[in-house]
Amino acid sequence: MSLKSIPEQVFQYVNPFIPPGSSVVVAVSGGGDSVALLYLLHELRGRLGLVALVVAHVNHGLRGDESDGDERLVREHAESLGVPCHCRRLEGHSIDEPGLEAWAREERYRFFDEVRTSTGIDLIATGHTLDDQAETVLMRILRGTGLNGLRGIAPLREDGVVRPLLGIGKTELESWLDYRGIGFRVDRSNDDEHLLRNRIRHSVLPQLESLQSGAAMHIAAVAADAAVQLEVLGEKVAAWIGHSFTALNDTSFRLKTDRFSDEPVASEALRGLLAARGIPPTRHHINGIVASARRTGGTFLLPGGWQYRCGGGVLFFFKVLPEFFRNVRVPGEIRAVEEGRSIRLEYLDTVPEELDSGKWTVVIDGTATGNEFIYRTISPDDTFIPFGTRREVKVLKFLSKQGVPRPLRECTGILTTRDNKPIWVHGIRLDERFRVTEATKCPIVVQSRSIL
């Protein structure tokens, strides 16, 4: 690639993603990629129809004078181009701190978005390159990714983050900067091969390039192809989820198994469904779930305390919750984090005309219950008289007859009096003995809300 042609290459790549009349926050670290991004967008602003450029820089304060030098250079470049520059300095962290990379990334994007919002800018541009794309795809392959992960870094995200340099390698960009006489900084922390990305950058990719010239470019092309294929597959995945998926509550869901024969669609749908619930969607677990769809029984483990059970034409997924026991007085609140809900108890002046006898809001007779309560896991010995009936039954047996799956029965919460008499099976049914009547003098409302 001719160095003179790099601006044209960038224009051809990014033009479809930046509508004329757009304004852009340029994220500039001081390294070669981001400095090149700033100068290329400034040079192309007329052709792209950009109405404003703004520079944003985060000084993480992790490398002392070197970090301050990065900030000085960014300010100098912005000033030389006549572009407003916004900087933020972070403190209180060390370069060896666990989780530092994720923290730093989160802080950067938070600041970029603040700058965009405060200045009325449309897009945020970052200096991710073709090499970054190849590294990302290789990292995801090593972790067992599916088609969604294989597409790598998106040229334009839904939140307005655009990557104009994904079609050009780091070496070409740095050569272009040298050709133009534009200075940039080198971050020595990028040489630390304790990080997987740096090992891929400095060891794996060079080896691949020695085996096949243009390896990074070919890997990036695979990512672009995967993105196109995913668009086509996306409609089928959405239809599959619409037919198969039913959310029961925040810690359980079920999937019909009649469409698992379409394995590519089922696998991609599973990756999204698991990831949305914090379950790592590894290839091992995806393949296991797809294979289990043909089983008529059995319970299998997933990460994060999740399990799934086979049978009856469905896979039932549930999170195993620990036993819990909490005391509360009226007025008061229980944060039932195990169930992802908050339960609030308050006095009412009068008894409402319309009463909910057992879902997420109930009204109980405070004279019969007292003002001190326990919220805990159901025990096998718990009995109650379901609202609208006269016969006392075991709570777990009642839930079974109501069609509540066993894992949910075992982790459903129950509100009891101070002396452990069941009042309300959370979200299911009130005990007949504690309902309000015309004679009720002290009504208490119990409201359950999601905290997720």
Whether the Cβ atoms of residue 419 and residue 327 lie closer than 8 Å to each other: no
Cα(203)–Cα(171) distance, rounded to whole angstroms?
Answer: 16
The backbone torsions φ and ψ at residue 307, rounded to the nearest 5 degrees and listed phi first, read -140, 165
Domain co-membership, 423 together with 344: yes
Residues recorded for the chain: 452
The backbone torsions φ and ψ at residue 300, rounded to the nearest 5 degrees and listed phi first, read -130, 150
Domain co-membership, 45 together with 180: yes
Cα(120)–Cα(118) distance, rounded to whole angstroms?
Answer: 6
Cα(19)–Cα(8) distance, rounded to whole angstroms?
Answer: 17
Whether the Cβ atoms of residue 436 and residue 443 lie closer than 8 Å to each other: yes
Whether the Cβ atoms of residue 205 and residue 216 lie closer than 8 Å to each other: yes
pLDDT tens digits, one per residue of 51-89: 999 999 999 877 778 888 999 999 999 999 999 999 999
Q: Is 21 helix (H, G, I), strand (E, B) or coil?
A: coil
Residue with tokens 């100068």: 39
Residue 435, both tokens: 């309902």
Cα(144)–Cα(185) distance, rounded to whole angstroms?
Answer: 35
Q: Give the model's confidence band at 397: pLDDT under 50 very low, under 70 low, under 90 confident, else very high.
A: very high
- Is the N-terminal amide bond of 331 cis, ω within 30° of 0? yes
* Residue at 227 is within a domain: no
Domain co-membership, 163 together with 216: yes
Number of structural domains (the chain) is 3
pLDDT tens digits, one per residue of 203-247: 899 999 899 999 999 999 999 998 888 888 888 999 999 999 998
Domain boundary pick from 266, 301, 319: 319
Domain co-membership, 31 together with 174: yes
Bridge partner list, 125: 26, 162
Cα(168)–Cα(220) distance, rounded to whole angstroms?
Answer: 10
Residue with tokens 């299998």: 300
Q: Give the model's confidence band at 355: pLDDT under 50 very low, under 70 low, under 90 confident, else very high.
A: low
Domain co-membership, 260 together with 345: no
Helix boundaries (H) for 49-129: 65-81, 100-119
Q: Give the model's confidence band at 418: pLDDT under 50 very low, under 70 low, under 90 confident, else very high.
A: very high
Q: Give the model's confidence band at 275: pLDDT under 50 very low, under 70 low, under 90 confident, else very high.
A: confident
Cα(384)–Cα(425) distance, rounded to whole angstroms?
Answer: 9
* DSSP structure class, residue 452: -
Q: Specify the pLDDT at position 438.
A: 83
Mean of all residue pLDDT scores within the chain: 88
**Dihedral sign computed on CA atoms, order 387, 393, 395, 397:** negative
Pick the more confident residue, 137 or 148. Answer: 137
* Residue at 237 is within a domain: no
* Residue at 174 is within a domain: yes
Domain co-membership, 371 together with 308: no
State the pairing for strand pair 299-301/252-256.
unpaired
The boundaries of the domain holding residue 129 are 3-222
